[in-house]
Amino acid sequence: MLEELRMEVYRANMELPARGLVTYTWGNVSGIDRKRGLIVIKPSGLNYEDLTPEKLVVLDLKGRQVEGDLRPSSDTATHLRLYRAWPQIGGIVHTHSSMAASWAQARRDIPLYGTTHADYFYGPVPCTRDLTPQEIETAYEEETGNVILETFDERGLNPVFTPAVLCASHGPFCWGKDAAQAVYHAVVLEELARMACQTEQINPQARPAQDAIRDKHFYRKHGAHAYYGQG
């Protein structure tokens, strides 16, 4: 069952160490089959070199394990929360990649400083508020999903236009139309985070790029009038 999705999610997981986004087991990718309402996700704490498509875990959207002997990622409840809220997304990734996690630890949004950012994110990458001690102690992983949704709701953000978030004191979650694009966005985010940090080091008074640059670059790549790539 779900042969193709398993392979897709497997490949997306293996891209994380290949791109230098994870140390040891720090990270997990999932993908969803919207028709069947099933997700495929990395097992908890498994080394990437030991991962195979068969070892991936299949769950339904309520978190009931449908296939696989291994325990799913400890972050599974966060993935499920986002899949339930956002039907537009098909893949999710969580990492502790160095620069993005540092912005999360600094509890700051990543400002849109240039075209590299605007090519993929239509505005700053938001950082959530802190969870309350009660949220942490009761249903930590699900509440992590809730605070992500709260952040997007309160700021009126569209997850398709802003395909990543920083969880305060923790690290990034990214998503996309499928698992591969979610990981693509995680790679882009890490590079944006590095460049934003360097930009402020070079000029502590750096200002974000103007709105016209943001619009031009985002819509050069996205939507009906896009003219980047081979269409």
Which are the catalytic amino acids?
A: 119, 228
9 close to 56: Cβ distance less than 8 angstroms = yes
Whose CA is closest to 164, among 76, 95, 74? 95
Options 88, 136, 153, 177; binder of its own copies; rule CB under 8 A: 136
Name all contacts of 18-25 with Cβ < 8 Å and 24+ positions apart: 19/183, 19/186, 19/187, 21/95, 21/97, 21/183, 21/186, 21/187, 21/190, 22/48, 22/95, 22/96, 22/97, 23/96
Stretch that binds its own copies, among 30-38, 78-86, 148-156, 181-189 (CB under 8 A): 181-189
Options 4, 106, 153, 158; binder of its own copies; rule CB under 8 A: 106
- Which tokens sit at 118? 């605007």
Residue 142 binds its own copies, judged by CB under 8 A: no
Shortest Å distance, C-beta 36 to its own copies = 26
Neighbours of 77 (CB within 10 A): 17
- Which tokens sit at 12? 């997306």
Residue 129 binds its own copies, judged by CB under 8 A: no
Site residues for its own copies, window 53-82 (CB under 8 A)? 70-71, 74
Whose CA is closest to 46, among 78, 18, 14? 14
Residue 224 binds its own copies, judged by CB under 8 A: no
Residue 184 binds its own copies, judged by CB under 8 A: yes
62 close to 83: Cβ distance less than 8 angstroms = no
Residue 219 binds its own copies, judged by CB under 8 A: no
Shortest Å distance, C-beta 130 to its own copies = 6
Residue 223 binds its own copies, judged by CB under 8 A: no
| Cβ-based burial of 86 (10 A; exposed 0-12, middle 13-18, buried ≥19) | middle
Stretch that binds its own copies, among 8-16, 27-35, 79-87, 114-122 (CB under 8 A): 114-122
Query: With respect to its own copies, which residue has the nearer C-beta, 39 or 112?
Result: 112
Options 54, 60, 137, 150; binder of its own copies; rule CB under 8 A: 137
First to last CA, the chain: 32
Whose CA is closest to 164, among 139, 136, 193? 193
Positions in the binding site for its own copies (CB under 8 A)? 23-26, 43-46, 70-71, 74, 96, 98-99, 101-108, 113-116, 130-131, 133, 136-137, 140, 169-171, 184, 187-188, 191, 194-203, 206-207, 209-213, 215-216, 220, 227-231
